[in-house]
Amino acid sequence: MEFDLTIDYKTILSRLDWIVFFGILLLTFISVIYGQYLKKKKGVSENKEARFLDLLLMGRQLTLPMFVATLVATWYGGIFGVTKIAFEQGIFNFITQGVFWYISYILFAFFITHKVAKYKAVTLPDLIEQMFGPKAGKLSAVFNFFNVLPIAYVISLGLLIQALFGITFLLSMIIGVTVVVLYTLYGGFRAVVFSDIIQFFVMCLGVFLILLFSYKLFGGISFLKANLPAGHFTLTGGEGIATTLVWGFIALSTLVDPNFYQRVFAAKSTKIAKKGILISTAIWILFDICTTAGAMYARAVIPEAASDKAYLIYALQILPNGIRGLVLAGILATILSTLDSYLFIAGTTVSYDMMPKKWKGKISLYHLGIIFVGILAILLGIVFDGNIKAVWKTLGSYSASCLLLPVLYGYIFPGKIKDKQFVFASILGIITVSIWRNITLPGFWQNVDELYMGILATSLGLVSYGLFSKYKNKLSYK
């Protein structure tokens, strides 16, 4: 079977493919409208607080099937990022973008869901404010904003639209983001959830079909071993242990990921949240097997292809008519389902968490926040020049090193960390990570990732501030 690395997507896709593709896209928009119909049918109180709670958390009525669908769908918008890593480094992708994250999900399910339930918070910064104080809440809102800026997913969507329609990368990002902004403005969190339900089924079916047809055409593991570098089957993928473990710490940032918290806050009960995370983890494992193996097949068959587009080029040429359109819609669904969630959370952070109390709850501010985030994500997509891995690494390093530890210590030692202590430690971590990223390091220190230095600085900040406060209190008693 011969593969064309410069395929014209407009000619390779049949009329049936386009019908299936746009049919699924239409079904997604219909699901959003249906969600709004159910809301009106049920009726939501005209009370301002109730309306805003419905906008942000769907009135805390998220059932188990909805919880699983929206959580799973939200997590895979960077499909071109993970398949790029798998194409270049094999099962290293499954370890760094899979196994490390499963550990974090399970920790969240068993040790955090019940702890946050008592706060009845609306957002993650709201939770942190209740745990530590108002200054910590405001600082975490800034972290939260940059952590959920959907840069990687705007890039992914731009790459897909560019590949399909042959327009510029910038115009592709603008078109994609505009569509997502419009339906997110229309229905808030409810629109995100109902669109995620359709996208969940389509994306899971899509990646499974790519793996199924790959196995049918080329065989199993023996084919991959015969046609891939040996490094593709090592846990570190040619990287050092320290570099590999950096991804483990970044995965732990799930414990302060606002999308997780948003869904836990929106669940009908703590039991649903815990069970939903565990079911989602099982689905994620299967999904990661499909994407990692699919990208490894692409490397084995078309090793000379561009790594960020190889998975798509490969998939469209091994699939039959109709199925090709379904899988293409599945790839689009993985991107849209994450982009709309991150866009929603970032917009909420601007309009709710960063605003003075007198302005909180204004729906007009929420709309402006969503539009602002969409524009900013496009601009930063240009700055990062389409490099999804660099986006994850940069934002993940700040989140994991500067916000994760203070929050975890807050769970372990409730009431022990004070508001100013939280702020001092986090800012010290920010400064350290920023300096480490931008200075020329000698010898051994070149191999020490900024994330490790950030974690060290944040930890020292917490301890030193605590010791200083105790010393100061002793002096005041004398």
Instruction: Report pLDDT digits (tens) over 54-63.
Output: 888 888 889 9
* CB-side neighbour CA atoms (13 Å) of 42: 12
Closest among 333, 334, 340, 391 to 370, alpha carbons compared: 340
Amino acid 356: pLDDT:
80
**Domains of the chain: residue spans and CATH:** 9-387 (1.20.1730.10)
Instruction: Say how far residue 452 (Cα) sits from the centre of its chain.
Output: 22
Q: Do 427 and 143 contact (CB within 8 A), yes or no? A: no
| H or E segment and range at residue 179 | helix 169-218
pTM of structure: 0.84
Amino acid 478: pLDDT:
55
Which region holds residue 238: left if phi is over 0, alpha if psi is between -120 and 50, else beta? Answer: left
CA 300-306-310 angle, 5° bins: 55
Amino acid 289: pLDDT:
94
Amino acid 386: pLDDT:
57
- What are the residue ranges in the chain where pLDDT is below 50? none
Closest among 297, 70, 323, 309 to 206, alpha carbons compared: 323
* Sign of CA pseudo-dihedral 225, 230, 236, 238: negative
Amino acid 281: pLDDT:
96
For 35-40, the CB contacts below 8 A with 24+ separation are 35/187, 35/190, 35/191, 35/193, 35/194, 36/186, 36/187, 36/190, 36/191, 39/190
DSSP 97: I
CA gap 398, 432 in Å, rounded:
10
Closest among 1, 18, 92 to 322, alpha carbons compared: 18
Amino acid 382: pLDDT:
80
Amino acid 472: pLDDT:
76
CA gap 398, 395 in Å, rounded:
5
DSSP string, 236-269: STTS-HHHHHHHHHHHHGGGG-HHHHHHHHHBS-
CA gap 241, 452 in Å, rounded:
13
Amino acid 416: pLDDT:
86
* CB-side neighbour CA atoms (13 Å) of 188: 21
DSSP 352: I
> Residue written as tokens 């109390």?
357
CA gap 462, 356 in Å, rounded:
28
Closest among 392, 396, 415, 398 to 457, alpha carbons compared: 398
